Chains A and B, each alone.
Chain A
Amino acid sequence: MITQSENPPVIELCGATKRYGRKLACDAVELNVRQGTTFGLLGPNGAGKSSLIRMLMGLTPPDAGEVKLFGENARVHNTAMRQRIGYVPEVHCIYRWMKVEEVLGFVSKLYPRWDDDLTDQMLSAFELPLKKKVAALSKGMTTKLSLILALAHNPDLLILDEPTSGLDPIIREDFLESVLQRHLCKGRTVLFSSHHFDDVERVADEVGIFVDGRFIARGSIDELRSNIKRVQIVLPDGKLPTHIPEQAVFQRLSRRDWTVTVSPFSEDLFEQLLSENHALGGNVVDLSLEDIFKDVIRGRKRQLEEIET
């Protein structure tokens, strides 16, 4: 049985707010990630995902609310807390003038739980050249080094910020496999942001769609899929939809085909849409996570445009 629901929370955000000038990067965010859960953070560029992750890492304090890791307030100078976290940032910050072996030697001293055997295993799996300078590594190699630095000290929590963006599919696969083998399969916790929906669907237990500083949808992938569905309806000739439900998040009309994405979906709602619009026919389409994401984001954009005009 999956027993994560009884595990203690590793990440807790309670009304966490972060403002940069006029921009509200995180708007009273609530989040609870339990031990052993893999949480996928999805959102368009500029949604505030990196701000959220920086608050988790204690790199920037919240303006209001609480950010807790392992039950304690997240602060950058809490060494014991930092030693329990592995972090792969969006932009790797590794001393570029050091050789790979020097970086490993240097970073390993910072972590009492550093595992040399694990490091060697990953080094040979990734075929990383020990004698090369970090500045001379390709983007893929730098990411792999960053992952070794994040995993070799057996962290309880792994935080990945767009870890595989810009990497070729083979390196993405190696990366994912390592995270699974060396971290996930040991029942540890992960929070990662990504634009690769394939990766998210493969490894996430829970996902959250983060837009304009808040979660607009959250749950297990199956929950999102059963809650958010697309209904296709054939309207009578020359008729426009007369009954647009409040559950509609996104809609599109082309000739007689009316497509409306609804959240939450129910069979009753579907029947209601058919009868109230005098539909000639209709069906319900299950969506992939990527389609759900696109419809929810597009729907929200339109909503905002309507408010502005």
Chain B
Amino acid sequence: MLIDPKSSTPIFRQIADQLRQAIDSNVYQPGEMLPSLRAMAIEIRVNPNTVQRAYEALEREGVVETRRGVGIFVAAAHRDHLNAAEQRLSSQFSAAIRQGVKANLTPDTVRSVFEDALRQILVEAMQ
């Protein structure tokens, strides 16, 4: 896990996002126990309270579940990660589009910027 303290994304978010990716790509499987707060904090050298916030965020998002006195586990019900990925993409788009609207871009411009970007990525993928 790579933490970038200079990023404007809060550290707990960086941890939560990377854990979620690890879970989505089956590094940690449903029902598997995640590293303890302490172990994770020492390994990535951040305050254990920050790791705790990341785990709490993932718990709220239904990705992990805490079993009191035992540890933190990947939620068994976490199968709809495609759906979750869609949700996350949607919230990222919303943020980007809001910025565009604030900068007085028209809906048509927003749409064409999006389509250009998507086309660019598909072209790159083909090469």
Contacts and interface: CB of A to CB of B under 8 A. Distances in A.
A binds B: yes
Interface of A: 2, 4, 38, 173, 176-177, 180-181, 184-185, 197-199, 201-205, 221-222, 225, 270, 274, 280-290
A221 B6 CA distance: 12
B112 interface: no
B70 interface: no
Contacts of B7: 288
Contacts of B79: none
B45 interface: yes
B6 A290 contact: yes
A202 B3 contact: yes
Nearest to A234: B103
B41 A286 contact: no
A203 B48 CA distance: 8
B99 A283 contact: yes
Given A185-B42, A205-B49, 20 more contacts: A176-B45, A184-B48, A185-B37, A198-B5, A198-B6, A199-B5, A202-B3, A202-B5, A202-B11, A202-B45, A205-B47, A221-B11, A281-B102, A281-B103, A284-B99, A285-B8, A286-B8, A288-B7, A288-B8, A290-B6
A199 B46 CA distance: 9
18 contacts: A38-B47, A176-B45, A177-B45, A180-B42, A202-B3, A202-B46, A202-B47, A203-B47, A204-B47, A205-B47, A205-B49, A221-B10, A221-B11, A270-B102, A281-B102, A281-B103, A287-B8, A288-B6
A184 B47 contact: yes
A197 B47 contact: no
A180 B5 contact: no
B91 to A, nearest CB: 15
Given A202-B3, A222-B10, A288-B6, A173 B45 contact: yes
B38 interface: yes
A225 B53 CA distance: 16
A185 to B, nearest CB: 5
A39 to B, nearest CB: 11
Contact of B46 (A203, A289, A290): A203
B104 A185 contact: no
Contacts of A270: 102
B87 to A, nearest CB: 22
Nearest to B6: A288
A181 B47 contact: no
Contacts of A221: 10-11
Nearest to A222: B10
B52 interface: yes
A4 B48 CA distance: 13
Contacts of B50: 202
Nearest to B12: A222
A180 B102 contact: no
B5 A201 contact: yes
Contacts of A285: 8
B49 to A, nearest CB: 6
Interface in B27-48: 37-38, 41-42, 45-48
A287 B9 CA distance: 9
Contact of A282 (B38, B53, B103): B103
Contacts of B11: 201-202, 221
Nearest to A176: B45
Contacts of B104: 280-281
Contacts of A203: 45-47
A2 B49 contact: yes
Contacts of A4: 49
Contacts of B102: 270, 274, 281-284
A205 B10 CA distance: 12
Contact of A185 (B5, B38, B103): B38
A109 B104 CA distance: 70
Contact of B41 (A185, A284, A287): A185
